[in-house]
Amino acid sequence: MGKLINLIRFLLTILFTMGSGFKSTYAQPNGRGELYMNDRLVIPFDIHYQSSSKPKLSIINGEEKISLILQKRNSDSLYFLFPFASGALIFHEKTLRGYWLNLNKTMPQQIPLTLSLRQVVEENYCLKFEHLYEENYKDFSGVFSVEFDDQKEKTRAIALFNSRGPALEGTFRTETGDYRYLSGGVFNGVLKLSCFDGYHAYLFEAYQDSSRTLQGVFYAGTRYRANWTGVKNPRASLLASDSISFPVNGPVELDIMVQDLRGKQKQLGRSYFQGKPTVVQLLGSWCPNCLDESQYIQSMISSERFKGVRFIGVSFENGKTPKDKIKRIKAFKNRLSLTYPVFLGGGATVEEASRIFHQLNGVFSFPTTLFLDKKGRIIEVHSGFDGPATGVHYEALKQKTEGLLLKLMLE
């Protein structure tokens, strides 16, 4: 236990000082990884690994390529850090066996893993799932109305699938965000998609029944399991992102108490917000959709068009103490090179966020984004985030956001 604690301290120190290694591109894997989530569940992922005096490792999720950072070579073990998620892949250089050290949660998590290398020879072979694609495959491309049922609640979603021959990529949009980049294919009539990005490990499976309805199972992490159904529906829709969370008494001035990154209490109210439009991002360093939104916000800050807008973040974090939570915020800001101020709101729950942002009917997702006018009044609230994996929906979100900001600047 002492060795693990020392390792975690070392990795957190390094994570605080490094920058981002995210790229969006098509890349050819030369190997695969397997995460042993529990006794019955293995989640595969694509990798590109180069063994040399300076080994290189990337994880590939369809269009997304995540270049990990070799931080340490200790005896026969390699320590690769994620560029933005908090954690590392640690494995033996010869056997390629080790574990994923997940530091995004309050308590560290070790998930066993193995890596294997193989150059794909067969043209019709899926390395990730170690299976030949079907020659007479079913085309699952399109838009599907989806319902998830985990026995506690039912939630709506929209599946966006894109076939490249028998290979399949896509994502799921929900009212709280998207499931980012999924990839896989169809094998013996079964759809299989997975993703591993250092935050989450996902596996989706489904078959099409006689009514052409997708019947499937969704696995996430070490315990979560939900049944899901999907029906092709090009008109599938969700609640509008600006209709879920809203100020209960109309355009009211935002007035909240937070902590700055020195641990000092700070009131954000009329005197802070007046004078220019403000974007207030509710986020968490543990949240992959928040990562996507933070990168988008930073791109707007770098644009001359939005020099007249104030951007701030209020983060809700895992961690046992405020000091630990603040350390996670600082590391997240540094990894993404964020230049806008981020304050600590509290613990990583929507209940805590709802308590702090008491002018709203509630906070129901991370991220949630508030848009204030020049008087500091809440004009609009967006729940969730359609990230780059959603394609046209991401472009529509940017167009809507930027149009609103330009309007607020002119008022």
Cα 96 from chain centroid (whole Å):
26
SS3 content of the chain, % helix, strand, coil (to 5): 20, 40, 40
Confidence of residue 137 (pLDDT cuts 50, 70, 90): confident
Return the pLDDT at 14.
47
Q: What is the mean pLDDT of residues 292-304?
A: 97
Q: Which residues pair with 69 in a beta bridge?
A: 81
Return the pLDDT at 28.
82
Contact between residue 166 and residue 134 where contact means Cβ atoms under 8 Å apart = yes
Return the pLDDT at 2.
55
Express as a percent the part of the chain with pLDDT over 90: 86
Q: Is the pLDDT of residue 7 over 70?
A: no
Contact between residue 370 and residue 247 where contact means Cβ atoms under 8 Å apart = no
Cβ-based neighbours of 127, under 8 Å, separated by 6 or more: 29, 31, 32, 46, 118, 120
Confidence of residue 139 (pLDDT cuts 50, 70, 90): confident
Q: Residue 183: is it exposed, middle or buried by C-beta count within 10 angstroms (0-12/13-18/19+)?
A: buried
Mean per-residue pLDDT of the chain:
93
3-state SS string over 162-216?
EEECCEEEEEEEECCEECCCEEEEEECCEEEEEEECCCCEEEEEEEECCCCCEEE
Which residue ranges form the domains of the chain, and what is each CATH number?
Answer: 19-117 (2.40.128), 125-232 (2.40.128.120), 256-410 (3.40.30.10)
Return the pLDDT at 118.
86
Which is nearest to 147 in space by CA: 227, 236, 237? 227
Confidence of residue 25 (pLDDT cuts 50, 70, 90): very low
Q: Is the pLDDT of residue 6 over 60?
A: no
Q: Which residues pair with 36 in a beta bridge?
A: 42
Tokens 């020659």 found at: 135
Dihedrals phi, psi of 338, to nearest 5 degrees: -80, 135
Q: What is the mean pLDDT of residues 112-119?
A: 92
Return the pLDDT at 371.
98
Q: For residues 117 and 130, give the distance between their C-alpha atoms in angstroms, rounded to a whole number.
A: 12
Q: Range with the lowest mean pLDDT among 185-189, 316-320, 392-396?
A: 185-189
Q: Tens digit of pLDDT for each residue in 269-289?
A: 999 999 999 999 999 999 999
Instruction: Write down the pTM of the prediction.
Output: 0.92
